Structure 1
Amino acid sequence: MAQKAKKGTAKANAVTLRNLHIGSLIANGLFLAFYIVFRSRSLTAYLFLVSPSLACQFFLERAGRPQFDSAGALRKSGEDLGAAGLTEYMFDVIWVTWGITVLVVLFGNKVWFLWALVPAFGLYKGYSLLGSARQMAGLGGLGSANANGAEAAPALNRRQRRAA
């Protein structure tokens, strides 16, 4: 039964990676063709801002590509590319970069500033994660003191609450 799940993951990963490479070829090929013909877009900005997308794509390729032995049997199915978390964020970086690349071709170099949304979103998510971690650890400024600035009363057990 486990082998069937591995085969399903391997098949899904292969399809996902194929679609990822086709999308990358279309978006980057469109920009490069436009650049070769018109030379009105910045190649330096393109190379600098597309490199994180290419790095994410390379990482997803290395982690998710199924591996087969010489007989054609599945040796390793690869990591599940449909998993939540960091994998989702990598796909988001790739898709946003593709969209912005196409918008740069259509509207000009100033659209590259939209790419600033990617690190801004990352900072927002990191800050909210840090806030959640601080709150869970009891280090939050609002939860540790009452309105007068005095220390919060210690939690009482059930018998102490009844007596109070």
Structure 2
Amino acid sequence: MAQKATKVQAARNAASLNRLHLISLAVNGVFLLVNFLLSSRNLYLWLIFALPSLAIELWFERSARPSFNPDGTVRRAGEDLEAKGLTEWMWDITYWTWGCIGLATVLGNRAWWAWALIPAYSAWLAWTTFSGARSGLQGLGGASQDAAPGGVSAAGQSKRQAKMEKREKGGQRVAYR
């Protein structure tokens, strides 16, 4: 049972890479088959928009393909293809590109415009991340203006005392039955 995690990751990576190559071959093969047999599609657009997916596929093959010693033991399991972050984003681009190729196969050359959603989604993701970080950093400037660091307001009262005084002045009334 030595290196069980390495063996499991190597098997998982090999299966994922084989599946990736088969799906890519099927999607691109059907596109080319439809292009040459039924109606012509723009091959230049296909090449331009399929290149990122093919480059990602090559990157995954290089970085995640496990290597084995001559005796069959795992030498290197490869990078984890289920990792979060950049790897997840590259899978998203691959899936979206396959979807766009499928749409272009069925609907024609105008379906390539769907690929423009990838940069739009990336810009939206970057903006929400930046604005979330910016709003999170605004509170680091210290305590608010009307309360001092110990929970004491500028008038020398604690928050509890200020609430009680507000209740007494009629701001909040407690109704008893």
1:49 matched residue in structure 2: 49
Deviation track 1:101-137 (CA, whole Å, cap 9, x = no partner) reads: 1111111100000111111111111111111222233
Which 5+ residue runs of structure 2 have no aligned equivalent?
158-177
Q: Is the aligned partner of 1:158 residue 2:158?
A: no
Q: Is the aligned partner of 1:24 residue 2:24?
A: yes
**DSSP 3-state at the match of 1:75:** strand
2:171 matched residue in structure 1: none
Deviation track 1:82-118 (CA, whole Å, cap 9, x = no partner) reads: 1222212111111111111111111110000011111
Task: Identify if the C-alpha distance between structure 1 residues 132 and 37 changes in structure 2 by more than 3 Å, giving closer, same or farther.
Answer: same
State the TM-score, normalized to the length of structure 2: 0.77
Q: CA deviation at 1:55?
A: 1.5
2:161 matched residue in structure 1: none
Separation (CA, whole Å) in 1 of partners of 2:127 and 2:58:
27
Which 5+ residue runs of structure 1 have no aligned equivalent?
145-151
Percent identity between the two aligned chains = 38
State the TM-score, normalized to the length of structure 1: 0.83
1:149 matched residue in structure 2: none
User: Is the Cα–Cα contact under 8 Å of residues 146 and 153 in structure 2 kept in the other structure?
Assistant: no
Separation (CA, whole Å) in 1 of partners of 2:124 and 2:95:
19
Deviation track 1:9-39 (CA, whole Å, cap 9, x = no partner) reads: 1111111111100000000111122222245
Q: Give the superposed CA RMSD.
A: 2.5
- Give runs of ≥4 in structure 1 deviating > 3 Å: 159-164
1:110 matched residue in structure 2: 110
**DSSP 3-state at the match of 1:70:** coil
1:147 matched residue in structure 2: none
**DSSP 3-state at the match of 1:10:** helix
Aligned length: 154
